[in-house]
Amino acid sequence: MDIAEGMLQHAREQGGAHHHVAGDAERLPLRDASVELIFSSLAVQWCGDFRAVLSEARRVLQPGGVLAFASLCVGTLHELRESWQAVDGLVHVNRFRRLEDYQRLCGESELQVLSLAARPHVLHYPDVRSLTHELKALGAHNLNPGRPAGLTGRARMQGLLQAYEGFRQPLGLPATYQVVYGVLQKPSVEGE
C-alpha cells in the first residue's frame, strides 16, 4: 500500500506483491480485524498524525496481529541541516518527530510495545549533489524554500558545499539516517 499511485506502479513493475492498494496510512482502506501483519518501511515519518496511524493499525489488525515499522526521527540528515544553517540560518531539511514522541504515542496506543528503538545508519556520498539528488526522490529535502537577501543561489550552493566539506570522512560525505524501529502487537484479548 502507498498513498502515491506512481509508487504503486513502480512496485508493480518490481513484482513481489500480489496486490497493490492505494491508501493513506492515517485512514486505511481495509476492514476491521482483517490483517495479521502490517509491515511499513520509511513511510510513516510523512504522516502528520502518527496517533491516527497507530489507531488505524489497531483497527485493521486481528487480535494478536503485529505492526512492524521503520521510520525516521530527529537527527536524520543533521549534517545537511547544520551545513545549511551555517550558510543562511534557515532550516532546509524536513523536521522529523523525536524518538520521545514515537515512544509516547506508541505507549498511549492500545497496542503492546514489543520493541521500540532508534539506530543511526550513516551513508556516504562522493559529493553533496549526489546526496541531494537521492533526497529529492525521498522527498526529505527542500533546496529552495526562499532566498535570503544578500546571497545569490550560486553563492548559497557554494556555501553549502563548503560547509558540508567540514564533515568529510575517508569514505566520503556522511549523511546520518536516524532510524526508529518499532514492533507493536494488538492484544489477543480485548482490553489486555
Segment 126-165, which members bind ligand SAM (CB under 6 A)? 138
Total number of residues that touch ligand SAM (CB under 6 A): 13
Using the rule CB under 6 A, is 24 a contact of ligand SAM?
A: yes
Q: Give the Cα separation of 35 and 37 in Å (integer).
A: 6
Selected range binding ligand SAM among 1-9, 54-62, 123-131, 161-169, rule: CB under 6 A: 1-9
- What residue number has its CB nearest to ligand SAM? 41
Among 7, 35, 161, 183, binds ligand SAM (CB under 6 A): 7
Pick the binder of ligand SAM from 2, 82, 101, 134 (CB under 6 A).
Answer: 2
Binding mask 27-46 for ligand SAM (x = CB under 6 A): --------------xxx--x
The one among 15, 31, 36, 47 contacting ligand SAM by CB under 6 A: 47
- In angstroms, give the least distance from the CB of 23 to ligand SAM: 6
In angstroms, what CA-CA distances link 36 with 32, 60, 180, 189?
Answer: 11, 9, 22, 15
Show Cβ contacts of residue 123 under 8 Å, excluding neighbours closer than 6 positions: 174, 175, 177
| Minimum CB distance to ligand SAM, residue 125 (Å) | 17
Stretch of residues binding ligand SAM (CB under 6 A), selected from 23-31, 92-100, 123-131, 147-155: 23-31
Between 127 and 134, whose beta carbon lies closer to ligand SAM?
Answer: 134
Q: Nearest-CA neighbor of 139 among 2, 14, 50, 46?
A: 46
Q: Residues in the site for ligand SAM, rule: CB under 6 A?
A: 2-4, 7, 24-26, 41-43, 46-47, 138
